[in-house]
Structure 1
């Protein structure tokens, strides 16, 4: 998992075309991935501490003094918020605990804003830009940088390519570490070594124990990518392995996907259609009744209610707590109160369940504090591994060259390396395209230029 030589070439095995080819492609993978790995590890580590950081820096917005009194009706809280900030109310988040604020999302000319309210007396605690699942503007920024959405459409596709190359990095790194009769595959740091062997051992050992986490984080992060994730979502749902299609058999639906109409939605359901209410000529039954209905249905606390924005719109409650078993979406007809859709984690197909579970673990939620600390340790290890790779590369790099491992003597013999790359190309098309470009450059590069790269 490096920009550099994981093991000094020792013996005939190290000089084989296969070893040289894999070593070279490990170098290329590291060259592309390491800057992003550091960025992802730093932002991912920060996001793992989302609740703690939000609670520390946004305490005046998120918390209130608990009182021995009932909350105000939701409609009254919303009215007070809308009086303080005129606009169109789009969502309401009831207080999740006795010391939590209630939140009202209002669409204004300046964009969506969240107004934080004391649920006991309706006092306005403040307002912030709407941040969706991230809850606060700072964490939204961290999340957007982590996915590279902050830098635009092209950068988001690059992160998808990087994830594929990270998998190549893990596979080739384990191959290079494997002893094969040589004193290379160490499981621990060795004392009394020279500077470069120390960094090599630090990199190899850290990479060995972190490789599984890198593989897991890359795989579970890919569903959120713009190209690969969207295609997998479409194919899974078409095959009945994603969201429960039968729920729409007797329900009117719109052409609007849930991701465009809801404050928050899970990966599996984001492209599912929004149900529609059936106007009856009677007025809508109102937010207070909607809140009571959702609570009677037993939805987990911390849910968000998206309000209907048209005569055909619905009341929607969605919740994504740390325990994925309580994940749930409920849609209600705004006139009759009829449940149009009610599904949770248990209702998803095999692919939907697998990906939702993976995302929950990826975000450090599924197994509580242990999960959070384990993912945080993995982020720190990724940074350490990346830094050791950079140091190693700098130490062994001949002056005036890139310092890439030498070309294999015969690329035709290195079928193992080609097989690894071909498999990755088939599984991850954007990564495959970048592999073809890199392979073409590697093979077709004029001989006079090659000394600068080796």
Structure 2
């Protein structure tokens, strides 16, 4: 990808010196005229996306290593010194409840990684007059227990500062701290970055096969502008596949494109949701009737053992029944954030409180709305091949931060004195039909891009009219 203003201007001057053939019945698009069109799109795309692209790329690069950072900071909390035979799960819950007097265990998480602690969620004793908390603060206190000795390793005290930091980073990355408006701005940036990449590929595309330096190898000697241009162009070409992968997978999490994708694909792959009545949940009980809690016949040890046997390579969370007609809720997910190769595997199910029968299995792969999340997220954050891809993704983020900076700098230095240096409007008829078709396809497949193009066309038209009114007229 390049902002090759020097070569572009040279090409234009060369064409202007060629005498036109007045006998030609029809003006055909020339490579140079198409180059000017692509340069114009590349320029405006860069001007539109540069500030937000830098913010999104910086926050994205930081968030890539959120899991590793948390592990490093909270190593004493999250890891054990030695492994062995797992202690009874009831002993883990008992130790956690002793750490929070009057508390009640509600769930337990066992990791596939044997070096990690078990996490028991304990709901503190409700104080008189205290309302029940909802959301993240109502999930209870996390108690980290050595799964081999059942000893409490650490109790979560207060908000997790590392987690809060990365949640803020993610909020900036997705919403710019501006809610839905911020998400739309990020989506607009994402779609225009696709145009920036595609037009950059065309501008870079070598016209001479024998040319290597400046195309495949950056020139590190000579004029500073040439060095800067090559450092802007050559690394971008090598990392273009990764950049496009990050950008396209990011579209799934946007407002307009993401919802449009769901509306288009759901009739093709979606299934009708049928309400099912769970065993043991009859309609004969009167509303408001308060019955004494009946413990499940399936004990915790057997329930957790079965869940881990079903998914030995995943982190398993078991939520305990709190009512007489509740069953064990099981969530099993692979450790996708720390480098489990491939897709995100997430399954939810219930184990019957008395028989242990598996019920209501819900796999992320089969979710009507979020089935794409299985591959989109690992590809977007670079966890698909572990640390190797995360490093490449980080380099791509750094590149996405640097390229707008170098591109704007080159434009600022090369613009004519006293002028904006904005690319001139191409002459009518100088663009081939396939270019217009490509633009129309992109406008329809990227709705926010299409709307922004309409705004730019109207603005460009108004600007040209104003310039024509100001131009002196020859009598």
Instruction: Determine the structure 2 residue equivalent to 1:201.
Output: 230
Report the Cα distance in structure 2 between the residues aligned to 1:451 and 1:377, rounded to whole angstroms.
Answer: 49
Report the Cα distance in structure 2 between the residues aligned to 1:406 and 1:188, rounded to whole angstroms.
Answer: 31
Instruction: Determine the structure 2 residue equivalent to 1:146.
Output: 173
Describe the superposition over 1:314-336 as per-residue Cα deviations: whole angstroms up to 9, x where unpaired: 61313033234671303115535
Match of 1:302 among 306, 315, 322: 315
- Per the alignment, do residues 445 and 349 of structure 1 end up closer, same or farther by CA in structure 2, a change over 3 Å counting? same
Deviation at 1:195, TM superposition (A): 2.3
Check whether the contact 1:4–1:389 (CA below 8 A) recurs between aligned residues. Answer: no
Report the Cα distance in structure 2 between the residues aligned to 1:277 and 1:28, rounded to whole angstroms.
Answer: 61
The answer for unaligned runs of 5 or more in structure 2 is 17-31, 124-131, 286-293, 471-475
Instruction: Determine the structure 1 residue equivalent to 2:329.
Output: 315
Instruction: Determine the structure 1 residue equivalent to 2:407.
Output: 389
Instruction: Determine the structure 2 residue equivalent to 1:257.
Output: none
- Per the alignment, do residues 451 and 353 of structure 1 end up closer, same or farther by CA in structure 2, a change over 3 Å counting? farther
- Per the alignment, do residues 139 and 191 of structure 1 end up closer, same or farther by CA in structure 2, a change over 3 Å counting? closer
Instruction: Determine the structure 2 residue equivalent to 1:256.
Output: none
Report the Cα distance in structure 1 between the residues aligned to 2:111 and 2:248, rounded to whole angstroms.
Answer: 35
Describe the superposition over 1:350-372 as per-residue Cα deviations: whole angstroms up to 9, x where unpaired: 99776633432332222233222
Match of 2:358 among 339, 344, 349: 339
Instruction: Determine the structure 2 residue equivalent to 1:8.
Output: 8
Deviation at 1:228, TM superposition (A): 1.9
Check whether the contact 1:2–1:386 (CA below 8 A) recurs between aligned residues. Answer: no
- Per the alignment, do residues 106 and 26 of structure 1 end up closer, same or farther by CA in structure 2, a change over 3 Å counting? farther
Describe the superposition over 1:252-295 as per-residue Cα deviations: whole angstroms up to 9, x where unpaired: 17xxxxxxxxxxxxxxxxxxxxxx56427965456544322211
Stretch deviating more after TM superposition (60-69 or 382-391): 60-69
Cα RMSD after superposing both structures: 4.0
Check whether the contact 1:277–1:314 (CA below 8 A) recurs between aligned residues. Answer: no
Describe the superposition over 1:171-191 as per-residue Cα deviations: whole angstroms up to 9, x where unpaired: 111112223459797222124
Instruction: Determine the structure 2 residue equivalent to 1:190.
Output: 219
Instruction: Determine the structure 2 residue equivalent to 1:99.
Output: 115
Bigger radius of gyration, 1 or 2? 2
Report the Cα distance in structure 2 between the residues aligned to 1:304 and 1:14, rounded to whole angstroms.
Answer: 68
Report the Cα distance in structure 2 between the residues aligned to 1:152 and 1:364, rounded to whole angstroms.
Answer: 25
Match of 2:304 among 287, 291, 300: 291
Report the TM-score when normalising by structure 1: 0.77
- Per the alignment, do residues 400 and 71 of structure 1 end up closer, same or farther by CA in structure 2, a change over 3 Å counting? farther
Match of 2:150 among 92, 104, 121: 121
Q: Does 1:252 align with 2:265?
A: no
Check whether the contact 1:196–1:395 (CA below 8 A) recurs between aligned residues. Answer: no
Report the Cα distance in structure 2 between the residues aligned to 1:235 and 1:130, rounded to whole angstroms.
Answer: 41
Report the TM-score when normalising by structure 2: 0.74
Check whether the contact 2:251–2:258 (CA below 8 A) recurs between aligned residues. Answer: yes
Match of 1:176 among 203, 207, 212: 203
Report the Cα distance in structure 2 between the residues aligned to 1:380 and 1:58, rounded to whole angstroms.
Answer: 27
Report the Cα distance in structure 1 between the residues aligned to 2:162 and 2:140, rounded to whole angstroms.
Answer: 11
Within a 5 Å distance, the mapping from 1:50-449 to structure 2 comes to: 50-66=66-82, 68=84, 70-73=86-89, 76-77=92-93, 80-81=96-97, 84=100, 91-105=107-121, 109=133, 110-112=137-139, 114-119=141-146, 120-123=149-152, 125-127=154-156, 136-148=163-175, 150-180=177-207, 186-240=215-269, 245=271, 252=276, 278-279=280-281, 283-284=295-296, 285=298, 287-306=300-319, 315-321=329-335, 322-324=340-342, 327-336=345-354, 337-342=356-361, 348=366, 356-398=374-416, 401-410=419-428, 413=431, 415=433, 417-448=435-466
- Per the alignment, do residues 224 and 451 of structure 1 end up closer, same or farther by CA in structure 2, a change over 3 Å counting? farther
Q: What is the aligned length?
A: 422
Instruction: Determine the structure 1 residue equivalent to 2:21.
Output: none
SS in 2 for 1:445: helix
Stretch deviating more after TM superposition (136-145 or 211-220): 136-145
Stretch deviating more after TM superposition (110-119 or 427-436): 110-119
Check whether the contact 1:91–1:106 (CA below 8 A) recurs between aligned residues. Answer: yes
Deviation at 1:152, TM superposition (A): 1.2
